[in-house]
């Protein structure tokens, strides 16, 4: 049944949408009208709508067949964090480029010696007048080779305990002190990078939040990364740049021609692929596989229920809480079960990759990406710790309390 929001959005899309529009012009129209991300505030690509009304707006867009807004690290992680902690000046500077797709962002959190123990990060930030000098190394930075800006956690006070001496910055990636080195993963893609920072500079005006508040802000970023209802995720998720002068149809064809396991995982497209594989190979006729299908179906229902609980917590507290770690763990388990069931159903075909194989290589790409679901955004082990300690109230790891009270400079490091 149509609602007032659906009718308004449907009329707007019907009048404004055309596949031969330049991509940049289309994204500008969406942002100006507030249909880019309807849940976001007015003036920043949104209309301040409720979750339900935002879904009605999305339903109208799909009904018209219009292409959606830009999706990437900028919309997925940067924007929601910026809207929580940014000053009006920072919002006015950075949000227009995010919602219009002109500025690509990356995330500079993990380090070779600080992955699961992110609070142990060693990249240093030293204040020099009204600028910070940054030195250190980051790794697993998705899309850093394309990024104009990066969100960066760095240690601004090594004499504070490790969780309290971190500050959060928005750094310009296009400067001599930033060296981005791409890494090729087993999918064949180059999505990740390592980034070396050598006397790189960032203005104090681009520090997000107060000095030493970086850990809390970083956890906000990660809570949005684990939130399945994040408005900035979804289909069309890309890390690279876009030809804003080309037509939308050309861009859609280019993006669609690249089989991306990450995009399939983020958009829920893997569910559709599995359904097709099950039908093609009549896998439901086997009682064992039928049982596994029902187990997967039950997990999906649990995930939907957990999502509703998480959304209720967001409404109460304004941003995702530790409960989203439950969704992250369930999502990783669903991914593994989806992969295993699909490969089993295809039999020998599950070993093949190519355009002539089942699903045209898409399921293969998803399978190669699946291990990342248990690592990215916090490993399963870390998320289980969060659930135990911050949701269930269980005791922390032995010795952690002592570490939290000691200066970071005095802690042992490998």
Q: Catalytic residues, which ones?
A: 225
Radius of gyration of the chain (CA): 22
Rounded Cα gap, residues 284 and 24, in angstroms: 45
- Write out the two tokens for 212: 């030493």
Listing DSSP states for 244-256 in one string gives TTSBHHHHHHHHH
- Please check whether residue 345 is in contact with residue 283, taking contact to mean a CB–CB distance below 8 angstroms: yes
Among candidate residues 55, 29, 21, the one with its CA nearest the CA of residue 249: 21
- Write out the two tokens for 81: 């964090």
- Please check whether residue 165 is in contact with residue 158, taking contact to mean a CB–CB distance below 8 angstroms: yes
Q: DSSP code of 323?
A: T
Rounded Cα gap, residues 62 and 126, in angstroms: 49
Listing DSSP states for 346-377 in one string gives HGGGGG--STTSGGGGHHHHHHHHGGGGGTTT
Query: 3-state SS of the chain: helix, strand, coil percent to 5?
Result: 50, 15, 35
269-288 exposure pattern, b = at least 16 Cβ within 10 A, e = fewer: bbeebbeebbeebebeeeee
Q: DSSP code of 41?
A: P
- Greatest extent of the chain over all pairs of C-alpha atoms, in Å: 70
- Please check whether residue 170 is in contact with residue 126, taking contact to mean a CB–CB distance below 8 angstroms: no
Rounded Cα gap, residues 185 and 201, in angstroms: 30
Rounded Cα gap, residues 306 and 227, in angstroms: 11
């Amino acid at each position: 049944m149509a609602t007032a929001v659906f009718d308004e959005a449907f009329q707007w899309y019907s009048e404004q949408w055309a596949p031969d529009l330049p991509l940049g012009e289309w994204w500008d129209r969406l942002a100006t009208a507030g249909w880019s991300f309807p849940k976001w505030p007015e003036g920043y690509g949104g209309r301040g709508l409720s979750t339900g009304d935002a879904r009605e707006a999305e339903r109208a867009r799909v009904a018209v067949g219009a292409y959606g807004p830009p999706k990437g690290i900028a919309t997925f992680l940067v924007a929601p964090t910026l809207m929580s902690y940014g000053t009006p000046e920072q919002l006015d500077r950075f949000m227009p480029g995010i919602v219009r797709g002109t500025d690509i962002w990356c995330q500079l959190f993990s380090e070779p010696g600080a992955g699961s123990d992110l609070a142990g990060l060693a990249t240093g930030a030293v204040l020099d007048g009204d600028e910070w000098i940054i030195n250190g190394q980051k790794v697993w930075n998705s899309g850093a080779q394309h990024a104009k800006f990066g969100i960066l956690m760095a240690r601004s006070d090594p004499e504070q305990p490790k969780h309290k001496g971190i500050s959060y910055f928005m750094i310009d990636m296009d400067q001599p002190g930033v060296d981005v080195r791409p890494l090729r993963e087993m999918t064949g893609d180059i999505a990740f990078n390592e980034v070396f920072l050598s006397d790189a500079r960032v203005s104090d005006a681009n520090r997000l939040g107060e000095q030493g508040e970086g850990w809390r802000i970083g956890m906000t970023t990660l809570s949005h990364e684990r939130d399945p209802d994040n408005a900035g995720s979804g289909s069309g998720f890309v890390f690279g740049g876009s030809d804003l002068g080309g037509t939308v149809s050309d861009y859609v064809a280019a993006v669609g021609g690249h089989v991306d396991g990450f995009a399939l995982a983020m958009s829920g497209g893997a569910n559709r692929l599995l359904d097709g594989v099950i039908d093609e190979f009549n896998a439901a006729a086997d009682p064992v596989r039928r049982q596994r299908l029902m187990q997967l179906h039950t997990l999906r229902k649990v995930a939907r229920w957990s999502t509703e609980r998480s959304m209720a917590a967001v409404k109460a507290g304004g941003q995702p809480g530790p409960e989203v770690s439950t969704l992250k763990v369930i999502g990783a388990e669903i991914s593994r079960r989806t992969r295993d069931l699909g490969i089993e159903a295809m039999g020998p075909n599950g070993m093949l990759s190519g355009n002539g194989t089942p699903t045209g290589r898409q399921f293969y790409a998803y399978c190669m990406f699946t291990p990342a679901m248990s690592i990215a955004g916090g490993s399963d082990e870390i998320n289980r710790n969060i659930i135990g300690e911050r949701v269930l109230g269980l005791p922390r790891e032995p010795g952690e309390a002592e570490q939290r009270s000691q200066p970071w400079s005095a802690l042992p490091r490998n």
